[in-house]
Every structure is written in structure tokens, then in C-alpha cells.
Amino acid sequence: MSPTRVPRRIISALVLFVCTGCGSPATPPSAGDDLNATVLRVQSALDGRGGRMGPSDIVVVGDRITGILPHGRGRGRVIDLGDATALPGLIDTHVHLGWHFNREGRTPSSDVEETAEEVVLYGAENGFATLQSGVTTVQSLGAPVDRELRDAFARGILPGPRVLTSLAAIGTWSGATPEDLRAVVRARHEEGADLIKIFASASIRVGGTPTLEQELLDAICGEASDLGLRTTVHAHGPESARRAAMAGCTTIEHGALLDRATLELLAERGLFYDPNIDLVLRNYFENEEKFLGVGGYTAEGFEQMRAAVPAALATFQEALTVPDLKIVFGTDALAGSHGRNAEELIYRVETGGQEAMDAVVSATSLAAESLGMAGEIGTLAVGMKADIIATRGDPSEQIGSLISPRFVMLDGRVVRNDGH
Ligand SMILES: [Zn+2]
């Protein structure tokens, strides 16, 4: 393998390692004089790993951060963001990018036929709203349309976030034997999925009981791991989450009804935990008439979701006290909540009691780690992708500052700049 074939992720991880080793918050400006450089001048910055920097010039060349210098030292095209705070673009580890209200204002159903063109444009609208709100990477869990959206946004013309997708999910409907399910995982990989999404419990609307036997979860997560794919598991109750942990899956989604023993097991086995405790539920209640009557959206189901609000909050508060539990940011954004993603973080801090800096980390470096992309995104450091947002206040002190950032950069391209 020639040096030019070394994956960029590995190269940037090495660059980051070297810089971390140099021990200086400011990097010598060898690249700072580059005429192609863009300099983001800010009053303060959060590195996404819990660190704060004072007045800084963040130097960007191409799609990478090439320097972080003291205020006024950067050379290049200066974008002065005044008293703003810069931080890595947010990473939402659980959205449904294509999910929208149809032309009758309802969640999609077979009553209203939609063309493929309509469906992809709704997804593009969702992607635009998401990116404008400061979320520069999403993991969509997932639908076939995600693949086209992912590839279109990646071409860099149509504004939308970096997308990772599971495409369609795997569950009881996918097969009855371990071999069936291994074959489905391989097929999903062939189709271009970035990860595998699994339903291992029923919906919270019907009690969240386990739906997949241990040997089936072992087969899915084992096959995915052999192919180098991560696995995210929809699991509300303790038993389904426990099985997923024993099967070596990567992340537990929702987990509204988990007990302390299960949360400790997740920490012990190194799983990530993505609780969705506010936005998805509140959005359902705000838009109840747009869902009621379609599929499993019944009046009883809505009662179950209302009952889940205090349960999910109590579980989250318990989770905060579990040592080494890796709680990541994810919203389960669906029709009605794209672009409102940060509201989940605000609830986690203001109602759930999470430290604001921890919430920022959960949506930046820790979320990147959960996606296997810690060497590329989620940290403001030399060598990382230039996915950068800037807010009017400091989100590590005022989490509400994350609502409507004044500046958004993705891959070194400015996609939002409201000025001072
Ligand atoms: Zn979901």
C-alpha cells in the first residue's frame, strides 16, 4: 500500500496526536499565511472535549482546521464573529432524515401516495433545516432515501449535513434464524449502509418488551462487527438492552425504562447510550393530530408516551450518576422536529440536570467517538474536519445559546453567517 492510500481518518488522527503531544494551545502559523486560508475570529472557543479557549483565530484551509492561533494572529480571509463562541458542529446520532408531514399535513401513510421526487425533496428540506440549526453530522436510522440524500449532500452543492445511515432497520420481520439475519446484515452492507439499526424491543407505545432472542442479536451484531459496521439497538426495557450488551452491539437507543443494573452493564461493556427524553415525545404531543390514526399511533399509544415522559427523565437522571457511562446526543428527530435538535440538549441540562459542558461534549467529541469518527469530527483541533459553528453566548455556560447559531461551517464551506 503506497502512503497516498493510507485512509485520511488515520492521517488526521496522527496529526491530532502529534499536536496534542506538542502541549501548546496555539499552533505555529506555518499554514496561517496561506492565501487560501479562512480565519474565523472569535471571542472564545470550546474544543468539544471539555476544554475552553480564549480569544482565538481558527484557521481553515480546504476542509481542514490548520491552525488555532491567538486572536489577531491568523492570516487569510478573516471572518470576524465578534463576541461569538466557536465549537465543533453538533452531531445528532439518531434522526430520521426523510420523515416529514405529507401534503395533507399528516405523517406519511398509504392513504396519500407520494412520488419518489417528493420524498427526496422533503428529505432535502429536513437536511437544510438541520444544518442551519448547527447540526453538521447526523446518523439517520434510517430509510432507503437516506443514501441518495447522503451522497447528494456530500457533493457539496445542496446544503445538508454529513449523513451516516442504516438504510432500512432489521427486526423480527427480517428473518427467523441466525443465518437469515446474518444474510440481511450482509445485504444491507452491500446496499451501502454505514451501520446496522436493530429493533430489539417493542415500541414504548406498547410497553417496550423484548422482541429478539439472544442468539438472533448475537448473529446480527456479530456479523455487523465482522464487516466493520457498528450497530445501534432500539431497546426500551432492561432485558432487550441487556441482550444487546451481551451481543456486543455498539449503542442503545431510547432505553427509557432501563434500571441501574442495566445502565451499569452498558458502562462496563463500553456501549454508548442515547436517551431521547424530550424532543421526540414533546413533538408528538405538539403534533398529535398529524399522527393519530396512522399505524400504531392510537390514543392508547399516546397515553403510553405521556406516561413515558417522567420515566425517561428519571432513567436519564439515574444514568448521569453511573460512572463511565457514555451518554451521547441523539434526538430521534422525525416529522416536525428537524432543525429543533438542540432543544433535546437544553432539556437534558435545564430539566435533567446534566452539566452544560458535558452536554456539549455528548454532542461533539463523544458523539463522534460513537460513530467511529473521533479522528475526523467532533473536536476543534488542528487536522480535524472544519465543521464549526459559532453561537452568541457560551453554550457551556448557557446551553440555550445553541438555539439558532449565528455561523455554521461544514467541510470548510460557510453555510450560514448572520454577522455580528
Ligand atoms: Zn428512531
In this structure, are 9 and 31 located in the same domain? yes
- Does residue 52 or residue 20 have the better pLDDT? 52
Average pLDDT in the chain:
92
Report CA-CA distances (Å) from 34 to 57, 76, 122, 166, 315: 14, 6, 40, 39, 50
Whether 46 and 171 share a structural domain: no
Q: Is 173 in the same domain as 293? A: yes
Say whether both 264 and 286 belong to one domain.
yes
Judge whether 333 lies within some domain.
Answer: yes
Phi, psi of 137 (to 5 degrees): -135, 135
Q: Pull the grid cell for residue 138.
A: 447526523
pLDDT in tens, 68-89: 999 999 999 999 999 999 999 9
Q: Which of the four pLDDT bands, split at 50, 70 and 90, describes residue 415? A: very high
Contacts of 18 (CB under 8 A, 6+ apart): none
Indicate whether 182 pLDDT > 60.
yes
Cα 42 to averaged position of ligand 1 atoms, centre (Å): 36
> What's the Rg (C-alpha) of the chain?
21
Same domain? 195 vs 275: yes
Give the distance (Å) from ligand 1 centre to CA of residue 146: 14
9 pLDDT exceeds 80? no
Contact 161, 130 (CB under 8 A): yes
Do 163 and 192 contact (CB within 8 A), yes or no?
Answer: no
Domain of residue 200, residue span: 90-340
pLDDT at 412 over 50: yes
Range 337-342 average pLDDT = 98
The three cell numbers of residue 181 are 439475519
Note whether 324 and 405 are same-domain residues: no
For residues 127 and 35, state if they share a domain: no
Q: What is the mean pLDDT of residues 384-401?
A: 98
Residue 331 pLDDT > 70: yes
288 C-alpha to ligand 1 centroid (Å): 17
Ligand 1 centroid–CA 187 distance in Å is 21
At position 236, the amino acid (one-letter code) is H
Please state whether the predicted TM-score (pTM) of the whole model is above 0.95: no
Residue 379: pLDDT band with limits 50, 70, 90: very high
- Same domain for 315 and 390? no
Asked whether residue 294 falls in the same domain as residue 156, the answer is: yes
pLDDT score of 206: 79
Q: Is residue 374 part of a domain?
A: no
Final residue in a domain of this structure, among 313, 340, 367: 340
Distance 231 CA to ligand 1 centre (A): 13
Phi, psi angles (nearest 5°) of residue 378: 90, -5
Q: Is residue 32 part of a domain?
A: yes
- For residue 51, is the peptide bond before it cis, meaning its omega torsion is within 30 degrees of 0? no
Question: What's the pLDDT at 205?
Answer: 79
Alpha carbon of 222 to ligand 1 centroid (Å) = 22
Task: Give the residue-averaged pLDDT of 168-182.
Answer: 97
pLDDT reading at 175 higher than 60? yes
End position of a domain, from candidates 288, 315, 340: 340
pLDDT digits (tens, 9 = 90+) for 99-131: 999 999 999 998 899 999 999 999 999 999 999
Domain boundary among 325, 340, 355: 340
331 CA to middle of ligand 1, Å?
8
Does 210 share its domain with 307?
yes
Number of domains in the chain: 2
Going from the Cα of 377 to the center of ligand 1, the distance in angstroms, rounded, reads 23
Give me ligand 1 centre to Cα 142, in Å.
Answer: 8
Q: What is the pLDDT of residues 291-310, one digit of tens each?
A: 999 988 999 999 999 999 99
90 CA to centre of ligand 1 in angstroms: 18
Q: How far is the CA of 139 from the centre of ligand 1 (A)?
A: 10
Q: CA distances (Å), 18 to each of 21, 49, 51, 65, 97, in order?
A: 5, 17, 18, 14, 36
What does the CA dihedral 276, 277, 282, 288 come to, rounded to 10 degrees? 60
pLDDT attached to residue 35: 77
Same domain, 76 and 182: no
Query: Is the CB of residue 328 less than 8 Å from the CB of residue 361?
Result: no
Q: Does a structural domain hold residue 348?
A: no
For residue 28, the model assigns a pLDDT of 43
> What is the Cα–Cα distance from 278 to 347, expressed in whole angstroms?
7
Is residue 251 scored above 80 in pLDDT? yes
Helix, strand, coil percent content, the chain, rounded in steps of 5? 35, 20, 45
Q: In what order do the strands lie in the sheet with 195-199?
A: 195-199, 230-235, 251-254, 272-274, 326-327
Q: Over range 227-240, report the average pLDDT.
A: 97
Place of cell 454529513: 162
160 Cα to the center of ligand 1, angstroms: 19
What CATH number does the domain containing 265 carry? 3.20.20.140
280 C-alpha to center of ligand 1: Å?
9
Q: How many residues does the chain have?
A: 420
Q: What percent of the chain has pLDDT over 70?
A: 92
293 belongs to a structural domain: yes
Same domain, 191 and 263: yes
In angstroms, what is the span from residue 208 Cα to ligand 1's centroid?
Answer: 14
pLDDT tier for residue 33 given thresholds of 50, 70 and 90: low
CATH number at residue 65: 2.30.40.10
Do the domain assignments include residue 122?
yes
Ligand 1 mean position, distance from CA 334 (Å): 8
Q: Is 357 inside a domain boundary?
A: no
Q: Does 345 reside within a domain?
A: no
Alpha carbon of 169 to ligand 1 centroid (Å): 10
